Amino acid sequence: DGSGRLADFGVARVLAARPASRARAFSPAYAAPEVLEGKIRLPSDLYAFGVVLYEMLFVRLPFVGPNLEALKRERRFPAPSALLGRPTPRVDAFFAGLFEPSARRRRPQVGRLRAALAALDELIA
């Protein structure tokens, strides 16, 4: 019907009940590569945001398969251009930057996200 749903509150309940488990409770499909290695950083949230945004726009997860770690490390996901059947270079670059395996090289940087979201104008242009 076109409406959205916010889910995964089960993880929040586990975290509230067992604070010691906080570093290990996450949804693998949305987790940055460093999170899968047990290292949570601010760019980890940027990566997860990218997965949520990709899923909202393209109605599918970017990384799907039996070996999520390898897919994420190698950035093997369908580019927006391929999904849309037309070139969207700024959108492709936007998601490639969000899905950068290295937290240090992930783009855009957190403070520049608002400006980078302008790349999504290509989707409606």
CB of 50 closer than 8 Å to CB of 98 = yes
Given a cut of 80, whether residue 10 has pLDDT beyond it is no
Q: Residue 87 phi/psi, 5° resolution?
A: -70, 130
**Average pLDDT value for residue range 17-34:** 72
Side chain identity at residue 2, one-letter code: G
Question: pLDDT tens for residues 52-66?
Answer: 999 999 999 999 999
Weakest-pLDDT range from 11-15, 40-44, 89-93: 11-15
CB of 91 closer than 8 Å to CB of 80 = yes
